[in-house]
Amino acid sequence: MAEFVGRRFTVPKHLGIMVASDAKPDGGAVMKPDRSALEVLGLTKRFDRLAVDSLDLTIHAGEFYALVGPNGAGKTTTLRMVAGLLRPDAGAVSIFGIDALANPVAAKQVMAWVSDEPMIYDKLTPLEYLEFVAGLWGIAPSVSEPVAEGLLTSLGLEPHRHERCEGFSKGMRQKVALAGALVHDPRLIILDEPLTGLDAVSARHVKGLLSERVRAGCTVIMTTHILEVAERMADRIGVIASGRLVAEGTLTELRQQNGHADTSLEDLFIALVTLPEAA
């Protein structure tokens, strides 16, 4: 059942694939994507070995997509290329129809990147950091200031908003970085292991915030090692191994594709990623 939020919509997880064009406010329609939030074609990157191998990936607008895979599978490299932090050796990246390699500035305007290692400025306060990020994205102060205050409150950072970040724990830093990613209201959020170092309460805050964003029509792509998070939060899951997408779909689809109707994602994951390694 699709629920409209302004011009945006959300889709229940079990539908897996969604649309705007065919969606009706009263729901019930079979949904197809009106357009992709992200389209990756033949993406390739080689360091001393092939890190990403002709990867094709399509993520629909308003979708929560989890990218899982073993260490060194190419998850972070893929997302760094999408975010414009790494130049691919070959391939194409399109973000909401914008060619991200030809027009990176326009593509960056609509997306946000959060890395596993929170990179913030020790000598700035959380509020100053958010002011800076909003300034970089050209958001008017009248808009960004209340949003920033709201984000800090919802992430439990309100008492620390005027303290410099130098003494913050990793979890607090991660939350500041996440607030920075959300303050300019991006349409696509790319997160690389965002829950690393967060305590249970903070992790729940972050997951809640991300779900809220997806409900509001934002697209979220996240890599994670915590399969339970992928299982519970993601509309679709992509399994990557040796730089290639080895499986993709909703959890039900993944189970059906692999003929394990009742297996957990963990068992499925192990079965999927050990195949390419064995090959």
Which residues in this chain contact other proteins in the complex, by CB under 8 A? 83-85, 105-106, 108-109, 111-113, 115, 119-125, 127-128, 131-138, 140-141, 144-145, 148, 162-169, 180
**Smallest separation, CB 144 to other proteins (Å):** 6
Q: Residues in the chain, how many?
A: 279
When the beta carbons of 111 and 220 are compared against other proteins, the nearer one is: 111
**Partners of 240 in beta bridges:** 245
**Closest distance between other proteins and the C-beta of residue 119, in Å?**
4
Nearer to other proteins, 103 or 252 (CB): 103
Q: Nearest approach, Cβ of 116 to other proteins (angstroms)?
A: 11
3-state secondary structure of 44: strand
- Dist CA 230 CA 38 (whole Å): 19
Beta carbon nearer to other proteins, 10 or 77: 77
Cβ of residue 35: shortest distance to other proteins, in angstroms? 20
| Residue 69 to residue 66: CA distance in whole angstroms | 10
Smallest gap, in angstroms, from Cβ of residue 202 to other proteins? 17
Contacts (Cβ under 8 Å, ≥6 apart) of 141 = 131, 134
On the 0-12 / 13-18 / 19+ scale of CB atoms within 10 A, 54 is middle
Name which of 107 and 237 has its Cβ closer to other proteins: 107
Strands 8-10 and 50-60: unpaired
Name the burial class of residue 34, with classes exposed (0-12), middle (13-18) and buried (19+) by CB atoms within 10 angstroms of its CB.
middle
Q: Which residue, 108 or 255, is less far from other proteins as judged by CB?
A: 108
